Amino acid sequence: MRIWIMLLRTCRFWSVALGFTRHTPIYTSYRGTASQLGAMMMKNADDTELPLRILALHGSEGRAASLQTLLEGHLRHINCEITTIQAPFSKGAGYAWWQLKTGERSFTANTYPGYEESAALVTQTLQKRKFDVVFGHSQGAILLVAMLANNQLATSSMRRLILNGVAWPNPFSEQLLSSVPSGSPDKDWGNLEVLQIIGVQDRINPPEQASQVEEALNRRGCKTTQLHHPGGHSIPSDKRIWNIVADWLAYKSLSRVFFVEPESVF
């Protein structure tokens, strides 16, 4: 029995030391405001909590209203205000941030026709109102990284990004990989925190694309956290994942890498 206890302690030690932390859900109730998050939030003069302001960008063929409904459901245990904007170009049953040829992918395309219009739309939204966090899914996440590469985001008041199902913004490879003096990360980039949500089974934007993005962001001085889950490309619905997101939003001290394991089926 004593040997088993020692083995268990050893396993726990190495899991923490290597950063592979299995997360235990914190929030069990979805009513009201999570106290952990509230303790970290700014307050009004009357001591009431200000809601966390989140701007969200949908993916290719997505819709602003659909994304807002989805995120409000996943984050209903958090005191937050979610704003979504719709991409300018029609595609399929929804909209896209740029127009690619049939069969072309964002991580292989040489140009993003329409990028300038979409980037201007996001910039105008960030200038009109202050946001604490910007969430991007798929093409929306790629747009955010492309804007970072062009220094269109790093100087805004927003300091935190959540990237779900991101891929490499190929037309902006040179800007994203431009040399940075060793030990001297970009001043504006160094204050950015990025949470990447990565589906192990993602067949649209493979996980290695997200890793490539992370390496580039780290070189620029961004603080990155990766959250791996057993799902695919879509926005995950697992409550355990959104508990981790809530902790990240609450500035909790977290591991740099998380793995959410498949739920057991009995």
- Give 137-159 pLDDT, tens digit per residue: 999 999 999 999 998 886 667 88
Q: What's the confidence (pLDDT) of residue 5?
A: 39
Assign 185 a pLDDT band (cuts: 50, 70, 90): low
Whole-structure pTM over 0.85, yes or no? no
pLDDT at 2 over 60: no
Q: What's the confidence (pLDDT) of residue 220?
A: 86
Assign 263 a pLDDT band (cuts: 50, 70, 90): confident
Other CB atoms within 10 Å distance of the CB of residue 68 = 17
* Higher per-residue pLDDT: 228 or 24: 228
Q: For residue range 14-62, what is the model confidence (pLDDT) as tens digits?
A: 333 333 333 332 222 222 233 344 434 455 545 567 899 999 999 999 9
- Cβ burial, residue 92 (10 Å; 0-12/13-18/19+): exposed
Distance CA 104, CA 92 (A): 15
Q: What's the confidence (pLDDT) of residue 49?
A: 76
- Beta carbons of 210 and 226 less than 8 angstroms apart: yes
Q: What's the confidence (pLDDT) of residue 50?
A: 87
The dihedral built from the CA positions of residue 189, 43, 254 and 206, taken in this order, carries a sign that is negative
Q: What's the confidence (pLDDT) of residue 254?
A: 76
Domain residue spans in the chain? 23-259
| List of residues 6+ apart from 210 with CB closer than 8 A | 163, 165, 166, 167, 196, 198, 226
Assign 188 a pLDDT band (cuts: 50, 70, 90): low
H/E run at residue 226: strand 223-229
Assign 182 a pLDDT band (cuts: 50, 70, 90): low
Q: What's the confidence (pLDDT) of residue 47?
A: 53
Q: What's the confidence (pLDDT) of residue 203?
A: 94
- Beta carbons of 32 and 97 less than 8 angstroms apart: no
Q: What's the confidence (pLDDT) of residue 146?
A: 97
Q: What's the confidence (pLDDT) of residue 13?
A: 35
CATH fold group of domain 23-259: Rossmann fold (3.40.50)
